[in-house]
Amino acid sequence: MLKTQAHINTNKNSLLVSLGIKYFQGQNRTQTYLFPVSLDHAVGSENEVRLIDLFVDSLNLGEFGLTMEHYENGRPAYHPADLLKLYIYGYFNRVRSTRSIEKECNRNIEVIWLLKNLKPDHNTISNFKRDNPRAIKKVFHETVIIARHFNLIDGMLIAGDLNTLKEYLKSVILFIFEKTRLLKSFLSKLNVLIHQIKNRLDSIHKLKTAIFNPKINRTNQFLDKLPL
């Protein structure tokens, strides 16, 4: 809303019109409207939350392993589709903490639209993530299938999170380092054992020579004295 303040000063000789500076003015928070704005009008037609909503609604969640049955006794539960939409939204927008997601349900107009003004607490969100890891993994695999169907990806390039790759390489390097250390220790012990065996064989050979050589010499002398 633009507001212009005009001050008109008149006198005998001239008419002076001075225009004030134009500022953007916010709306009155307490103002009521004849035609109320719906929640759907608050989110643009190209907003990503509409795609998330359409994608989850197109899935047969029972086939992915999500529990669709709920007992009628006690407090009503949140539908798995709503919690899945919330999880996907948090993943796309790098909001991983369940407490942070809970806050978004109360202040983020996109999340309010996506969940139709539902406000699950962080325990509910955490339990959903804990109880359905395989189902969530299958859902994200389904996004890859849909992307390939619409030729958004060709499936020839493998991309990943750099931090995850670093952690994986770190674990591999530590594994190789540990195995190398163990191998060096084994080879060192093996060399000591070989040296001990060699010394033992040398001792046996010397002992054999000391014992059997005199006997052999005496035998040879005896044979020499025999008449042919």
Sign of CA dihedral 31, 34, 36, 42: negative
What per-residue confidence (pLDDT) applies to 56?
A: 93
pLDDT digits (tens, 9 = 90+) for 23-34: 666 677 787 777
Whether 56 contacts 84, CB under 8 Å: yes
pLDDT digits (tens, 9 = 90+) for 185-226: 999 999 999 999 998 888 888 887 777 777 777 777 766 776
Q: Exposed (0-12), middle (13-18) or buried (19+): which is 191, by Cβ within 10 Å?
A: exposed
Q: Measuring CA to CA, which residue among 95, 97, 92, 102 is closest to residue 48? A: 92
Residue type present at position 95: V
First to last CA, the chain: 139
Q: 3-state class of 6 per DSSP?
A: strand
Q: Cα Rg for the chain, rounded, in angstroms?
A: 42
Helical H segments across the chain, by residue range = 48-57, 80-92, 98-107, 109-114, 122-131, 133-149, 162-225
Question: Going by C-beta distance under 8 Å and a sequence separation of 6 or more, which residues neighbour residue 9?
Answer: 16, 18
What per-residue confidence (pLDDT) applies to 45?
A: 87
pLDDT digits (tens, 9 = 90+) for 131-158: 999 999 999 888 888 888 888 777 777 7
Cα–Cα distance for residue pair 113/86, rounded to 1 Å: 11
Cα–Cα distance for residue pair 107/215, rounded to 1 Å: 105
In the DSSP assignment, the letter for residue 19 is E
Q: Quick one: average pLDDT of 82-90?
A: 94
Count the neighbouring beta carbons within 10 Å of the beta carbon of residue 87: 22
Q: Quick one: average pLDDT of 121-131?
A: 92
Count the neighbouring beta carbons within 10 Å of the beta carbon of residue 121: 13
